[in-house]
Chain A
Amino acid sequence: MSDLDRLSLHVPEPAVRPGGQPDFSNVKIPKAGSVPRPEVDVAPEDIRDLAFSIIRVLNRDGEAVGPWAGLLSDAELLAGLRHMMMLRAFDARMLMAQRQGKTSFYMQHLGEEAVSCAFRRALRKGDMNFPTYRQAGLLIADDYPMVEMMNQIFSNESDPCHGRQLPVMYTSKEHGFFTISGNLATQYVQAVGWAMASAIKNDSRIAAGWIGDGSTAESDFHSALVFASTYRAPVILNIVNNQWAISTFQGIARGGSGTFAARGLGFGIPALRVDGNDYLAVYAVARWAAERARRNLGPTLIEYVTYRVGAHSTSDDPSAYRPKTESEAWPLGDPVLRLKKHLIVRGAWSEERHAQAEAEIMDEVIQAQKKAEIHGTLHAGGKPSVRDIFEGVYAEMPPHIRRQRQKAGY
């Protein structure tokens, strides 16, 4: 047998491992403003190249440039900055609370704040998100009370989920935030179903599904794309590519495909790739997709190119699988600092005001935390009742569960 006859298995590896020099030379970053903005009724096959580029608005000098710029006022951008800073401060406090044993688990957004914060502003009241665990900006940017989020994280006596769900698995129908499962990809196809229902009822509301780069490998991702494509569901299918699925680099899920956005092309779904650390670009692309959906033109697939600066959760240490300095080398920068710079360039913001806002926001978060802690934390103070274990499995408690509740002494 010659060498030519022997097969070998290809197992992709990231460019660099711990100890190496971070290298993102393979991430091609187009100039801000260089990607065209098509009409929303464009034929998907006419914008195939958008699945391989990156839509960017903010340039290195902090200016908003190109055809995707110019959608947001100073006030809206200042609100966006505030939401991102709030999410960052919230994360910092909750990480600390986890270390103090006030909750079992936490997942932060560091570096990805623009994605969910900007996206929420492109939706209307009544639209429905089917989020994963790293889109709390959808709640923050919709003014959902932080105290309620903390009550959920602390599983205390005021937890809206009555202690039944892992921390950060929020739910709020009122704020268009579907109950987070914790299983990956399952909610993606549910978003398509919700959108189909809206179309069946000739409603005007739209849905948004959320998934990470790693879980695009799940079969539910592909089911979602088939159904969205077949029924032209009014849904925005978001892929947050933060480069890492716990310890697994995005190349393991992406395989031989150039980009995750390109997955949409085979289904005839317009696919856009966007700078996920650029608040203005995220908003512009989300609004484009929302308009398509609302005009009954069907689904849009969006890949947000971003970077998970922190650990996956409080249960892993990234230095075990990637260089410690990798986040500093990430070529798309920090979403908060980029928007801050833009607002300063616009003359709407300053270093002083930013420092002041940072302090005010942190104080607001701390005040909220104090209010939440009055109702208890995981191991101290007020707790959900043991009765709550047995309630709500069904609308009406069946006899066998009632017997078990009595056996438990409640």
Chain B
Amino acid sequence: MARMTMIEAVRSAMDVSMARDENVVVFGEDVGYFGGVFRCTQGLQAKYGTTRCFDAPISESGIVGTAIGMAAYGLKPCVEIQFADYMYPAYDQITQEAARIRYRSNGDFTCPIVLRMPTGGGIFGGQTHSQSPEALFTHVCGLKVIVPSNPYDAKGLLISAIEDPDPVMFLEPKRLYNGPFDGHHERPVTPWSKHELGDVPEGHYTIPIGKAEIRRKGSAVTVVAYGTMVHVALAAAEETRIDAEVIDLRSLLPLDLDTIVQSVTKTGRCVVVHEATLTSGFGAELVSLVQEHCFYHLEAPVVRVTGWDTPYPHAQEWDYFPGPARVGRALTEVMEA
């Protein structure tokens, strides 16, 4: 066991996977010699050579397109999209190619690729370094979508993703890279070294894709969250003293519907939280499922707390980011309904 940041955890996942399977290759913009702009691939080129970890041209459609071809050959590419905001040029390759190759060829060809991409806000990244495009992936059949919230999960889930036979979108909340950020930007950051989920085994382990985790047991209201918002929700529960049950989805697709339904059936109340914009966000799917499966147990309307339906602003970041105060107000609202 070692204390790791989320950066070290995803690096360790790639390291372990590359050591176990010679078909695992890692590439992307700046990931080779330099080790990535967030340093997630630092040292991998030195350890595994330039043909297994290398720099790519600034061409996301090229990165994903070549990864698909490599997967068709039999490799297991784990590529980095430098920011989730940069994935759009590759969207055609992701949605119409990677996601459908197994289906359209009836398994004659498959596409076991992982696209890692830093996601979400909280770093003053403005419109082009803060987006949360997960719903653009969950809407595409054939993809799996993962958003880890801590180093332990990040490593176990990334190894699972690399070993998965289908394409996996692996969104890494960049504000969590160095610590469990709870939305209190005015306070010093707690490092992962002081958090129990910073305890990460150095070797191989996996976490199943499609299983949620309850981060806080509670009986008053269920909060469904993922990524950075898990920590924001935990802070909001403490600050409002509302006995919230906080579910960390970890996988958005496949979704652990059972855990959500069990919890909401028990609490009768539900708040869904994500950083992404509101309209047609993944929260809409979650609320819809809660309504379909828990309607007769609900004591209050299900509430969403999300980013506003605007582009992600720069200077006004903390008025955009759904912090603990906004989540807390939503908790109070559903309790009073």
Among A358-410, those with CB < 8 Å from B are 392-395, 398-401
Interface string of A214-244 (1 = CB under 8 A from B): 0000011001101100100000000000000
Q: How far is the CA of A392 from the CA of B253 in the complex (A)?
A: 16
Q: Which residues of A contact B109 (CB under 8 A)?
A: 171, 173, 178-179
- The answer to whether B89 touches A219, judged by C-beta atoms less than 8 angstroms apart, is yes
Q: Is B188 an interface residue (CB 8 A)?
A: no
Interface string of A98-129 (1 = CB under 8 A from B): 00000000000000000000000000000010
Name the CB-closest residue of A to B57. A226
Q: Which residues of B contact A8 (CB under 8 A)?
A: none
Known interface pairs A161-B106, A164-B106. Does A223 touch B52 (Cβ–Cβ under 8 Å)? no
Give chain B nearest CB distance to A178 CB in angstroms: 6
Q: How far is the CA of A121 from the CA of B64 in the complex (A)?
A: 30
Among B104-157, those with CB < 8 Å from A are 104-110, 141-142, 144
**By CB atoms of chain A within 10 A, which of B57, B66, B92, B144 has the most?**
B66
User: Which listed residue, A223, A226, A400, touches B254 by the CB 8 Å rule?
Assistant: A400
- The answer to whether A193 touches B89, judged by C-beta atoms less than 8 angstroms apart, is no
Give chain A nearest CB distance to B285 CB in angstroms: 10
Name the CB-closest residue of A to B55. A230
Q: Which residues of A contact B59 (CB under 8 A)?
A: 223, 226-227
Q: Is B62 an interface residue (CB 8 A)?
A: yes
Q: How many residues of A contact B (CB 8 A)?
A: 47
- The answer to whether B165 touches A200, judged by C-beta atoms less than 8 angstroms apart, is no
Interface string of B45-80 (1 = CB under 8 A from A): 000000110001101011001111110111100000
Q: Is B97 an interface residue (CB 8 A)?
A: yes
Q: Which residues of B contact A178 (CB under 8 A)?
A: 72, 109
Q: Is A285 an interface residue (CB 8 A)?
A: no
Q: How far is the CA of A189 from the CA of B56 in the complex (A)?
A: 13
Among B158-187, those with CB < 8 Å from A are 165-166
- The answer to whether A191 touches B69, judged by C-beta atoms less than 8 angstroms apart, is yes
Q: Is A160 an interface residue (CB 8 A)?
A: yes
- The answer to whether A164 touches B72, judged by C-beta atoms less than 8 angstroms apart, is no
Known interface pairs A193-B67, A194-B70. Does A226 touch B105 (Cβ–Cβ under 8 Å)? no
Q: How far is the CA of A178 from the CA of B100 in the complex (A)?
A: 13
Q: Which residues of A contact B229 (CB under 8 A)?
A: none
- The answer to whether A181 touches B96, judged by C-beta atoms less than 8 angstroms apart, is yes
4 nearest A-B pairs in the assembled complex, by CB-CB distance: A193-B69, A193-B66, A189-B65, A223-B62
Sample of 10 further A-B pairs with CB below 8 A, known A181-B97, A196-B69, A197-B73: A161-B105, A179-B108, A189-B69, A189-B93, A194-B72, A197-B74, A223-B62, A392-B106, A394-B142, A395-B166
